[in-house]
Amino acid sequence: MTTSTDHVALRPGAYADSVALLQVSKDVAAVDGVLAAQVAMATELNREVIAQMGFELPDTTPNDMIVAIRLEDPSRLDAALAAVDAALAAASRRSDGEASVEDPPRTIGRALERGDAGLALVSVPGQYAAVEAMDALDAGRDVMIFSDNVPVEQEVALKRVAAERDLLVMGPDCGTAMVDGIGLGFANTVQPGPVGIVAASGTGCQQLMCLLDQAGVGMTAALGVGGRDLSVDVAALSTKQAMKRLDADEATELIVVVSKPPAEEVAADLRAFAEQLSTPVHFALLGKGQPDLTAAAEGVLAALGREVPEWPRWGEPAATPTAGQLRGLFAGGTLCDEAMLLTQDRLGPVWSNIPLDPAYALGSDLQADGPLMIDFGDDGMTSGRAHPMIDPSLRLDYLARTSRDASTSVILMDVVLGHGADADPAATAAPAIRDAIAAARKAGRDLAVVVACVGTQGDPQQLDRQAAALADAGAEVFLSNAQATRRALSLMGAAA
């Protein structure tokens, strides 16, 4: 049985509120050698509490502060009293915390209540995107949903609500948009002008915008609607809403709808819808038997009565390559599609991770004996890593491997510029292309590299600067993906 020492003292006139004193008591009780401690104002209740702890109390008035400490050993008293003083000082000290800075909003709904933003941009994982997007619609704002893998029934539900409230849902899986001159997602900087684009295809939209900008034709807006909008399930809900928006916009003289060919019933419905609008609508539908994106841009120029320019190209024509295979390495899905469509007419079916014909789906080794094109931006390739427009490493690794493959003859690539994309893609792509050509050369082969560089002079990366750097590395560079593909095919034809 150890003995203990009680220390009870009064501090007449001292005061702290009861909550502060509970904290003081807690701090003092935690001091080494202190068995129990209570520092309290001498109210009836507190006297009772302290008495119950076994302390003997002198007479007090309610304005006295009682310090009651039970020690293992009297020698610990000084340390304990020092702790009382320190804790009381701490209790009366103003908080030294930062002047309170408000925490960031946790939901889009709160962010829209706290500020006056005009639009919401959602890029959370797809299973959570609808809830965030709904916040924007509830606040009467348009929303762009970059997220993919949003369940289609949620997409339909969102778009129905938006249509009822005359709001616009851009997406899900919407990679690009331009509203009021502001680029959203992966977006090129283009001049203002008479064309309003409605796009169910991200890189298809970017290609069209960049070609038109090159031809001196600007845009009022580019409204993405997501790749599924023209499906039977979604029934063009956002496409119609976007067309209505552009129709009501006085600056928009021509509406261009960019999409893969929709289901027949959706297409018929959309054509009928377009006829009710006062603004002419030009459909640029991409697919087998349809004009490519460059031809679509030229169709838009014709509809506006503008001349079709010579589309720019950079670099010396490549040396005739050693015979072999065509390899396409894409970051843009629609650009890959377009290249495959053009290629299959000349070289037959193209192997791909997004094949036109499911029979030509690539295995996980991404190897094939025949023309091959990979979309490195496809969901299957991006899980756990950034999009190739942001992080080039996977695609450039593949470039290096392919260049050492004796069967590779021509490499076709895209480089997509704009806000959101790699700040200087040529900085990594140009050396990789130079090394690829040199590696083939060293092995006694001639390798041709053709690049579609989709961008504008106004882009942060600057089209000219990027294209020149890629050309300097030995690539032939085109603004038009269709022209780049045709050039690659002609090099294949000339190969020996």
Partner 1 sequence: MTSTHTPADGVVASGVSIFADALDAQAVPVSRVDWRPPMEGTADDLATVATDPLRVDANRRAAEAMMAVQAMIVDVAPASEVLGLEKGQFLHAGPPLAWENASGPMRGALMGAAALEALVDDPEDAEALFASGQSVSLEPCHHRSAVGPMAGVVSPSMWMWVLEDPTDGRRTYCSLNEGLGKVLRYGAYGPEVLERLRWMSDVLGPLLSKAVRGSEPVNATSILGQMLQMGDEAHNRNRAGTLMLMRDLAPAMVNSGADAADIAKVFEFMGGNDHFFLNVAMPACKLALDAARGIEGSTMVVAMARNGTEFGIQTAGTGDEWFTGPAQIADGLYLGGYGPDDANPDIGDSAITETAGIGGFAMATAPAIVRFVGGSVPDALATTRRMREITLAENDRWPIPVLDFMGTPTGIDVTKVCRTGVLPQINTGMAGRVAGTGQVGAGLVTPPAEIFPKALAALAARTRARQS
**Residues 63-102 interacting with partner 1 (rule: CB under 8 A):** 91, 94-95, 97-100, 102
Nearer residue to partner 1 within complex by CB, 114 or 271: 114
Is 118 a binder of partner 1 (CB under 8 A)? yes
Measured between alpha carbons, how far is residue 153 from residues 234, 343, 446 in Å?
Answer: 8, 36, 51
Which of 106, 288, 316, 384 lies at the binding interface for partner 1 (CB under 8 A)?
A: 106
Interface positions, 338-367, toward partner 1 (CB under 8 A): none
Segment 377 to 416, residues that bind partner 1, using CB under 8 A? 390
User: Is residue 140 within the footprint of partner 1 (CB under 8 A)?
Assistant: yes
Return the residue of 50, 84, 254, 284 that touches partner 1, per CB under 8 A: 50
Q: Residue 188 or residue 409: which is nearer to partner 1 going by CB?
A: 188
The residue among 55 and 314 lying less far from partner 1, judged by its C-beta, is: 55
* Contact set for partner 1, span 13-32 (CB under 8 A): 17, 19-20, 22-23, 25-26
Could you say whether residue 248 binds partner 1 (CB under 8 A)?
yes
Comparison of 64 and 132: residue with beta carbon closer to partner 1: 132
Q: How far is CA 437 from CA 241, 370, 434, 447, 496, in A?
A: 48, 20, 5, 6, 17
Q: Which residues contact 247 (CB under 8 A, 6 or more apart)?
A: 255, 277, 278, 279
Q: What are phi and psi of 11, to 5 degrees?
A: -125, 85
User: 447-476: which residues touch partner 1 (CB under 8 A)?
Assistant: 460
- In the three-class reduction of DSSP (H, G, I as helix; E, B as strand; rest coil), residue 49 is classed as helix
Say how far apart CA 240 and CA 263 lie, in whole Å. 15
Is residue 473 within 8 A of residue 448, CB to CB? The reply is no
Which of 82, 157, 443, 494 binds partner 1 (CB under 8 A)? It is 157
Single-letter code of the amino acid located at 108:
I
Least Cβ distance, residue 154 to partner 1 (angstroms): 5
As a whole number of Å, the end-to-end CA separation of the chain is: 101
As a whole number of angstroms, the distance between CA 333 and CA 331 comes to 7
Smallest separation, CB 271 to partner 1 (Å): 23
Cβ pair 372, 327 in contact under 8 A: yes
Minimum distance of partner 1 from residue 333's CB (angstroms): 18
Say how many residues touch partner 1, by CB under 8 A: 82
By C-alpha distance, which of 84, 82, 34, 38 is closest to 57? Answer: 38
Task: Tell me which residues in 195-224 interact with partner 1 (CB under 8 A).
Answer: 220-221
- Quick one: which of 32, 56, 59, 116 contacts partner 1 (CB under 8 A)? 116
Q: How many other CB atoms sit within 10 Å of the CB of residue 285?
A: 17
Residues 120-139 that bind partner 1 (CB under 8 A): 120-125, 127-128, 130-132, 134, 136, 138
CB of 312 to partner 1, least distance (A): 25
What is the rounded distance in angstroms from the CA atom of residue 451 to the CA atom of residue 434? Answer: 13
**Position 89, amino acid:** A
The whole-angstrom separation of Cα 144 and Cα 171 is 6
Q: In whole angstroms, what is the distance from residue 39 CA to residue 46 CA?
A: 9
Query: Taking CB under 8 A as the rule, does residue 148 contact partner 1?
Result: no
Single residue of 179, 235, 436, 471 touching partner 1 by CB under 8 A: 179
Residue 62 touching partner 1 (CB under 8 A): no
